[in-house]
A and B are shown apart, each in its own frame.
Chain A
Amino acid sequence: MKEDDPNIKWVEEPKLGLTGRMYLPLIAGGLTTTIKHLVSPKVTVSYPDEEPEIGNKLIYRGVHRLNRDEQGRVKCVACFLCATACPAHCIDIIGIESPWEDREKYPESFTIDELRCIYCGMCEEACPVDAIELTSLYNLTGRSREEMIFDKEKLLSVYDATKDSEPMQSVTQEGST
């Protein structure tokens, strides 16, 4: 690229006028901006005292849940697509033959290591039956590493706790095909 390349547009900065050279108008302008920010409303959320507002709960990526179908059974068909898609390898599924007529397999155990998870939402996107979803619960704490490995019951209980505030994203779709 040469200096006279027609793709380069050389911009001249405007020259300072006498008011700019006097410096005082610039000082006044700068101080006005500072004082404006000094008294403006603050953006900080004082967390334990006030909860942050989550814009759209359905697209927030917090703790996972395992959805239930209408009969209260786990929707998951143990297809391992979420575990395959997971970049952090935090999903561990043991799938066995399903006791129900409408599907071949179901998860005997379904555990997610919430400490390992990076909350990318790939599992939610990969799931063909919308069984795994990310909720808007963000304040996830535990006293030990073991406590943070969520098993199937815990993930289902997350669904029970959040199903009213965050409806399943595709209720019409059945658990299996």
Chain B
Amino acid sequence: MSDPSPLLAGVKILALVAGIMTGAAYFVLLERRMAAWVQDRRGPNRVGIPLTKIRLFGLGQPLADGLKMILKEEYTPGHVNRRLFLLAPIVIMAAALAIFAVIPFGSSLPPIPALGIDEPIDLIVAPQVDVGLLYVFALSSVAVYGVILGGWASNNKYSFLGGLRSSAQMIAYELPLGLGILGIVLAGSSLGLNDIIDRQAASGVWFLMAQPLGFVVFLIAAFAEAARLPFDLPEAEQELIGGYHTEYAGIKLVLFLTAEFIHMITASFLITILFLGGWHFWGLTGSPDAEITWPLALIRIVVLNTKIFCVILFFMLARWTWPRFRFDQLMTLAWKVMLPLGIVNLVSVAILREILHPTHLGGSLGSGGSLFLECLIGWAVAIGSWAFVAWIGPLVADNRPRLDIHPREVDPQI
């Protein structure tokens, strides 16, 4: 454990916030380019280094976007509740950034004697917090406050509708999200994200392989929590103009939009850490107990960030693949499909933990055998329950009118 010196924590916070904000700005550019490519366009590729003609594939675009938004008139409509209106973007942004206090962004750095640091530096702002996942959950719930406050304070029916939709959606999908995490907590025997990564790195089996059902439930719930398509009902432009941020302009709007992107980055971090092994990759990153060296530390950071990047790419691809759900379909999916699937996953994991405990069957199988059995049963449960759901009530939302309830209507005027 590293020395919790305030200076070191300050440096970490600075690096993390700078990294996240820059990352969010460039992910906006990536999102726009991906959107263009999927639609057979080229996307923003003109802005390069300012005051020169160098274009750099549009890498100067985030700077131009930011400047434009900052220099815009920051208009506050007269009919809003001014205090709450100001508070909402602050709440949502603060909550989005504060989550990163317990999320590791690498494993650790070796000691740097030249700076008087003679213990390995954990790459996490608050390394000794044992309730990391609880903290993440608490803060992601606070983010809903920002949305509701924004919608309420705007005093506008579209904003209010967006805020209410958002709150209903977030509350509904927090249950499957929690159930997906509970399976991991049971298997990892810890709430700390570092311990969960260590667990996966030690066994070499990512929780994706052991709990595929939990992964699917968590992935879908994470999409909904980040309000990404196909779950972007809080801000469905075609229906709500802009949703809860309709009345916002200038830098306050930027805070909302950036917070949304940070939610996506947080979701990618959590998916990677909980299910995709964090910084672990077979044959590259060594065992979690190994002495940390500079190359090892860098490889681990690169592996973690590559995984996160791939998850974000998937987020962006998914945006252009699925159409938005209708609200009733959204709720059906949450309460009738995701919640039961999450419970099935949790129960199966709990039973497996009990059976495979070293004092029971696990002792006679050995660690390799019980891991294999765990994965096998995990996949069997996932495929079985998925097929069962498909059989009794398809995940595919059927939009066709129920002819047995509503007979066909033909306009007699025609």
User: Hey, which bits of chain A sit against chain B, CB under 8 A?
Assistant: 1-3, 5, 8, 10, 13, 16, 18, 20-24, 26-27, 30-31, 33-35, 37-44, 46
Q: Which residues of B contact A (CB under 8 A)?
A: 34, 36-42, 45, 317-318, 320-322, 386-387, 390-391, 394-396, 398, 400, 408, 410-412, 414
Is B410 touching A3 in the complex (CB atoms < 8 A)? yes
Among B318, B387, B390, B408, chain A packs the most CB atoms within 10 A around the CB of B390
Chain A CB within 10 Å, residue with most, of B36, B38, B322 = B38
CA distance A23 to B321 in the complex (A): 13
How distant is B229 from chain A, measured CB to nearest CB, in Å? 12
Given contacts A34-B317, A35-B317, A44-B42, 18 further A-B contacts (CB under 8 A): A1-B410, A3-B410, A20-B396, A21-B394, A22-B387, A23-B394, A23-B396, A30-B321, A34-B38, A34-B320, A37-B40, A38-B34, A38-B37, A38-B317, A42-B36, A42-B40, A42-B42, A46-B42
Set of chain A residues within 8 Å of B321, measured between Cβ atoms: 27, 30-31, 33-34
- CA–CA, A15 and B390, complex, Å: 13
B224 CB to nearest chain A CB (Å): 16
CB–CB A3/B317 < 8 A? no
Given contacts A21-B394, A21-B395, A34-B317, contact A10 B40 (CB under 8 A): no
Q: A residues within 8 A CB of B317? A: 31, 34-35, 38
In the bound complex, residues from chain A placing their C-beta under 8 Å from that of B36 are 42
Chain B's closest residue to A29 (CB) is B321
Nearest-neighbor residue (CB-CB) of B337 within chain A: A23
Question: Residues of B contacting A26 with CB < 8 Å?
Answer: 396
Min CB–CB distance A27 → chain B (angstroms): 8
Give CA–CA (A77, B122) in the complex, Å: 88
Complex Cα–Cα for A22 and B318 (A): 18
User: A21 → chain B, closest Cβ, in Å?
Assistant: 4
Task: Decide: A22 near B37, CB < 8 A? Known: A31-B317, A33-B321, A34-B320.
Answer: no
Docked complex Cα distance between A18 and B386 (Å): 11
| Most chain B beta-carbon neighbours within 10 Å: one of A10, A33, A34, A43 | A34
- Subset of 23 A-B contacts with CB under 8 Å: A1-B410, A1-B411, A1-B412, A1-B414, A10-B408, A18-B391, A21-B394, A23-B396, A24-B386, A26-B396, A31-B318, A31-B321, A34-B320, A37-B37, A37-B38, A38-B37, A38-B38, A38-B317, A40-B40, A41-B40, A42-B37, A42-B40, A43-B41
**Residue in A8, A40, A44 with the greatest tally of chain B CB atoms within 10 Å:** A44
Whether A42 contacts B41 in the complex (CB less than 8 A), given A1-B410, A22-B390, A23-B394, comes out as yes
Q: Chain A residues with Cβ under 8 A from B387's Cβ?
A: 18, 22
Q: Which 5 interchain pairs have the tightest Cβ spacing?
A: A21-B394, A21-B390, A30-B321, A23-B395, A44-B42
- Which of B38, B39, B386 contacts A22, CB < 8 Å? B386
Nearest-CB distance from B221 to chain A (Å)?
16
* Chain B residues within an 8 Å CB radius of A33: 321
Chain B's closest residue to A23 (CB) is B395
Q: Which residue of B lies closest to A45 (CB)?
A: B42
A2 to B410, CA, bound (A): 7
What's the least CB distance linking A34 to chain B, in Å?
5
Give the one of A3, A10, A26, A38 with max B CB within 10 A.
A38
Give the distance in Å from the alpha carbon of A106 to the alpha carbon of B36 in the complex. Answer: 53
| B40 close to A18 (CB less than 8 A) | no
Residues of A within 8 A of B320 (CB): 34, 37
Asked, given contacts A2-B410, A3-B408, A38-B34, whether A13 binds B40 with beta carbons under 8 Å apart, the answer is no
Q: Closest CB of chain B to A46's CB: distance in Å?
A: 7
Chain A minimum-CB-distance residue to B407: A3
Within the complex, which residue of A16, A38, A42, A46 is in contact with B396, where a contact is CB–CB below 8 Å? A16
The answer to whether B37 touches A21 (Cβ under 8 A) is no
Query: Residue A13 contacts which of B386, B400, B410 (CB distance < 8 angstroms)?
Result: B400
